[in-house]
């Protein structure tokens, strides 16, 4: 399973909003420049995220987008499903009934893989992503200090 650009770019963009949570709206231009994603593509992604209540907007010269909920209330799974649809490993797993279900050896494995993916993305919040980024930045800074 490979995430489309919708999922990857949307997650990056909303992560940027989480980094700025409580500091006011973030312009599309800022996100576009930082992640090299076109503003028009971001508008499309943000329209879906706004419709689902994850982000809000402020109009005007100092306007932009901001999270509608705290970063610890929004999971990666919420964002990916909004942008990608259901996360599944195979069409046969996502269908209620499969004519070969009783003799299919791979279905059980595919179901376990799908459950594992969903367990991960449903238990990682934007706040968790921020913590991970802080750890990475701290480690990089420590490595730079050790080199110097």
One of 1.10.10.10, 1.10.10.60, 1.10.3720.10, 3.40.50.620 is the CATH number of 5-147, namely 1.10.10.10
Q: Domain residues of the chain, as ranges?
A: 5-147
Going by C-alpha positions, the residue among 59, 70, 51, 49 that lies closest to residue 25 is 59
> In the chain, helix, strand, coil percent, each to 5?
65, 5, 30
Q: If you average pLDDT over residues 23-39, what whole number do you get?
A: 95
The predicted structure's pLDDT at residue 89: 76
pLDDT tens per residue, range 84-134: 988 877 777 666 666 666 677 787 888 899 899 999 999 999 999 999 998
Q: If you average pLDDT over residues 9-33, what whole number do you get?
A: 95
Q: If you average pLDDT over residues 46-58, what whole number do you get?
A: 95
The predicted structure's pLDDT at residue 110: 85
pLDDT for 44 beyond 90: yes
* % of the chain at pLDDT higher than 90: 64
pLDDT for 20 beyond 80: yes
pLDDT for 30 beyond 70: yes
The structure's pTM equals: 0.84
The predicted structure's pLDDT at residue 40: 95
Can you give the three-state secondary structure of 11-47, one letter per residue? HHHHHHHHHCCCCCCECHHHHHHHHCCCHHHHHHHHH
What does the alpha-carbon distance between residue 59 and residue 51 come to, in Å, rounded to a whole number? 16
Local structure of 56: helix, strand or coil: strand
């Amino acid at each position: 399973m490979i995430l489309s650009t919708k999922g990857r770019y949307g997650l990056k963009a909303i992560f940027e909003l989480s980094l700025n949570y409580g500091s006011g709206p973030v312009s599309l231009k800022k996100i576009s420049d930082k992640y090299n994603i076109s503003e028009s593509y971001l508008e499309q992604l943000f329209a879906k995220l706004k419709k689902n209540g994850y982000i809000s907007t402020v109009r005007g010269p100092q306007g932009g987008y901001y999270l509608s909920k705290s970063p610890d209330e929004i999971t990666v799974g919420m964002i990916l499903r909004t942008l990608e649809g259901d996360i599944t490993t195979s069409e046969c797993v996502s269908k209620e009934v499969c004519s070969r279900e009783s003799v299919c050896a791979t279905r059980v494995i595919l179901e376990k893989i799908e459950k594992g993916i969903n367990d991960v993305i449903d238990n990682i919040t934007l706040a968790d992503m921020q913590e991970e980024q802080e750890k990475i930045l701290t480690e990089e800074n420590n490595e730079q200090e050790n080199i110097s």
